């Protein structure tokens, strides 16, 4: 095995964000950057075997080729699996697993997600080590292999471990014109459900475009027009899943996680600080311990490993169940949700969790969020005394700060969001 060169490691990441490296192709995400990352990551893995998948973006083919070149230049083996959902790559990871994807972002974006040989997302410290190796010298000597059975292997794994008899269930499945376009409809059909598949004809530029987990309007219309029992929607790379009821009403990740927590009978669940206060109230009533993390599914995963838990998730639809899996999986989550209904409608199942009203806004910023803005939010939360709250969160993938206000009524949440927005704008020197 090759040895890693000794390099100086920085204290802040330059390229990695909340979930890998991401950007607009040809602007902040270039072929050269992808090749550099591939070389560095391969060196970090001691010139090992790197399993590579991608979503359906048109730019994915060129970036996959660039990544493979970087692996070869660093003396590694690039094993190319073609179009695959992100959780499949995590399950099939070799010395490394890599997905060329920008997840839920629009088609003009792309990026890279990394998994170690256990299928776990890399820590901040490891990402810093990889960035420090981006200019290291390499001597080549690697090879490229192709595999054709990765999709079949993944589908069999999911059906065997998460599937149940879905006979009599009629559902719409929104594939976001992404990596689940063939796999998800087949999975539900094989389990006996009547499936209406939508957004399952990817053309390279329609991924996440007015469809999928980032836009449930198409799914809601489809469910209502076809008299479906429910609908499920994935994002472009398949690590998120949201749902709609028979009436087309959205069911978010907090509600799905609440349903699964009670169905699976776990005594610990990991969530992020964006999770609805209604979820926390329900878990408190049911005696379930809640571990709260920063936003990002990898932080939820880290909490589950640390606390020896198996279930966690995010409001955005990352649902993680670590029994027979290594990461969040949209298809596995959808199958678990269908099983958890136990004869109820989705609306009835979701009613177990009374939701607090939430209002969210994005503010464009240049540079970092001022500490004074964070302090202003903390002062406002102190005034609220726990009956409501506000939250500021710099995005890990876009130049925006995300605002959240949460209260028992929509009117109070709207008012709170306006107050925190005005406070932040004042600290940023912006006019309203």
DSSP string computed for 277-303? HHHHHHHHHHT-EEEEE-SSHHHHHHH
Which two structure tokens, joined as six digits, stand for 412?
A: 């109070």
Q: Do 323 and 405 have their domain in common?
A: no
The whole-number pLDDT of residue 3 equals 56
**Averaged confidence pLDDT in the chain:** 94
One of 103, 181, 316, 431 is an active-site residue; which one? 103
Q: Is residue 10 part of a domain?
A: no
Look at residues 148, 166, 201 and tell me which one is the last residue of a structural domain: 148
Same domain, 217 and 263: yes
341 in the same domain as 197: yes
Mean pLDDT of 231-242: 97
Whole-number Å distance between alpha carbons of 243 and 260: 13
Tokens representing 97 are: 């697993």
Residue 11 clears pLDDT 70, i.e. is over it: no
Out of 111, 127, 148, a domain closes at 148
34-49 mean pLDDT: 96
Rounded to the nearest 5 degrees, what angle is found at the Cα of 289, between the Cα atoms of 288 and 295? 120
Q: What is the mean pLDDT of residues 56-60?
A: 98
In the predicted model, is pLDDT for residue 360 greater than 60?
Answer: yes
- What is the reported pLDDT for 368? 80
How distant, in Å, are the alpha carbons of 184, 337, 346 from that of 342?
21, 10, 10
For the question of residue 395 being annotated catalytic, the response is no
Q: How far apart are CA 331 and CA 106, in angstroms?
A: 21
Determine, yes or no, domain membership for 215: yes
Instruction: Select from 148, 183, 198 the last residue of a domain.
Output: 148
Q: How far apart are CA 99 and CA 78, in angstroms?
A: 12
Domain of 318, in residue numbers: 152-350
CATH of the domain at 132: 3.40.120.10
Complete edge-to-edge strand list for the sheet that includes strand 400-407: 357-364, 400-407, 389-394
The angle that helices 277-286 and 253-264 make with each other, rounded to 10 degrees, is 10
Task: Specify the DSSP element, H or E, that contains 43.
Answer: helix 31-44
- CB contact at 8 A, 363 and 403: yes
Confirm whether 409 is domain-assigned: yes
Query: How does pLDDT run across 84-129, given as a tens digit for each residue?
Result: 999 999 999 999 999 999 999 999 999 999 999 999 999 999 999 9
Tell me the average pLDDT across 405-419. 94
Angle between helices 183-190 and 150-162 (to 10 degrees): 40
């Amino acid at each position: 095995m090759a040895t890693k060169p000794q390099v100086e490691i920085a204290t802040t990441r330059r390229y990695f964000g909340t979930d890998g490296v991401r950007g607009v192709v040809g602007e902040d995400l270039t072929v050269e950057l992808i090749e550099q990352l591939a070389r560095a990551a391969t060196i970090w893995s001691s010139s090992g075997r790197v399993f590579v998948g991608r979503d359906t973006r048109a730019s994915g083919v060129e970036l996959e080729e660039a990544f493979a070149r970087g692996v070869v230049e660093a003396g590694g083996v690039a094993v190319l699996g073609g179009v695959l959902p992100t959780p499949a790559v995590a399950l099939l990871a070799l010395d490394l697993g890599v997905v060329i994807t920008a997840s839920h972002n629009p088609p003009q974006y792309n990026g890279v997600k990394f998994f170690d040989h256990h299928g776990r997302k890399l820590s901040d410290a490891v990402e810093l080590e990889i960035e420090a190796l981006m200019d290291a010298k390499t001597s080549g000597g690697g090879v490229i292999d192709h595999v054709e059975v990765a999709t079949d292997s993944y589908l069999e794994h999911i059906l065997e471990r998460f599937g149940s008899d879905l006979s009599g269930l009629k559902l719409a499945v929104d594939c976001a014109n992404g990596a689940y376009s063939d796999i998800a409809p087949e999975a539900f059909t094989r389990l006996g459900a009547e499936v209406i598949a939508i957004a399952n004809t990817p053309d390279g530029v329609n991924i996440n475009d007015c469809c999928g987990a980032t836009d449930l309007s198409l799914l809601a219309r489809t469910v209502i027009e076809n008299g479906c029992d429910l609908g499920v929607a994935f994002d472009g790379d398949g690590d998120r899943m949201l749902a709609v009821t028979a009436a087309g009403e959205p069911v978010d990740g907090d509600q799905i996680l609440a349903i699964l927590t009670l169905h699976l009978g776990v005594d610990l669940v990991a969530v992020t600080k964006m999770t609805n206060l209604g979820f926390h109230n329900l878990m408190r009533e049911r005696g379930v311990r809640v571990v709260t993390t920063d936003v990002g599914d990898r932080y939820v995963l880290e909490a589950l490993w640390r606390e020896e838990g198996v279930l966690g998730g995010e409001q955005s639809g990352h649902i993680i169940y670590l029994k027979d899996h290594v990461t969040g999986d949209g298809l596995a989550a959808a199958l678990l949700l269908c099983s958890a209904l136990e004869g109820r409608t989705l609306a009835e199942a979701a009613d177990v969790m009374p939701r607090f009203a939430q209002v969210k806004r994005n503010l464009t910023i240049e540079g970092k969020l001022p500490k004074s803005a964070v302090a202003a939010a903390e002062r406002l939360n102190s005034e609220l005394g726990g009956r409501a709250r506000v939250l500021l969160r710099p995005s890990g993938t876009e130049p925006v700060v995300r605002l959240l206000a949460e209260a028992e009524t929509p009117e109070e949440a709207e008012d709170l969001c306006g107050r925190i927005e005005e406070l932040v704008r004042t600290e940023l020197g912006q006019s309203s």
